[in-house]
Amino acid sequence: MGTSTPEWSTVPAAGSRVIVTGAAGGLGRALTSALLELGTEVVGVDRPGTEVHAGLRLVSSDLTDEIAARRAIVEATERLGGLDALVGAAGTVDTIHRADRFPLAAFRADVEANLLTQFAAAQAAFPALSASGTGCVVFLSSVAAQDGLPGQASYAAAKAGVLGLTRSLAAEWAGQGIRVNAVVPGLVATPKVLAMPDSARARLLSAVPMGRVATLGEVVGAVLYLLSPAAGYTTGQALRLDGGAGLNRAGLYR
């Protein structure tokens, strides 16, 4: 992606061609804005009826529909004139049920929205990413994939699937020059998280040593790094952004 860019550069090269799924979400908006500011060529993909910021080209599609997903990625690639990178930020985190009475239909829908959409987009993008010679994929997972998330078993399971998908595709596609990595955030300052009741957010933050949510910029920065030349030897990895939530804080002292 951009042979004139120094290999130590930690942002993608200007002129890189990038597709971002879930472009209308809080993180998707922040990420596409940053990419455009860096001079990359960007096309977003999101559900019909969604709105994105001015200046972003958008392909409307339901990525849970296999045929529609393939068409959307092909159309976005054609608009870009090729493809260097895919960022899978599409997903949903709205379903809450106790596991013993979680409706199977709702569970299945969450897996489709958070896992199958990622695979469908990546599979459709594979030919163009192969042709790039320096293609890369960055999936958005969640710390729920590694830690579990009571009340949202479907979300945690789907995001764990994203990590398995990341390593599997990285192993299969390395020979085509395609890197595949994942960003694994904890609580992020998206509109949905900021709209949580204070008591719920405080309860979740009690397990975070840094005592705060991640900013959108901190997550965007991690994605940009994995898209950059500096990450050119990095594939199959999960970059966790959790404010220390995964650390063992038990000790021998009082």
CB atoms within 10 A of CB 115: 24
Spatial strand order in the sheet of 41-46: 57-60, 41-46, 17-21, 85-88, 136-140, 179-185, 238-241
Q: How far apart are CA 38 and CA 33, in angstroms?
A: 9
Three-state DSSP at 36 gives helix
- Sequence-distant (6+) residues with CB within 8 A of 40 are 12, 13, 14, 15, 16, 17, 18
H/E element, 67: helix 66-80
Q: Say which residue the tokens 């990413």 belong to.
A: 129
Q: Can 233 be counted among the known catalytic residues?
A: no
Query: To which residue do tokens 């987009």 refer?
Result: 121
Pair of tokens at residue 189 = 């300052």
Listed residue (216, 243, 229) closest to 147, CA to CA? 243
One of 155, 225, 233, 253 is an active-site residue; which one?
Answer: 155
SS3 11: coil
What residues are annotated to the active site? Answer: 155
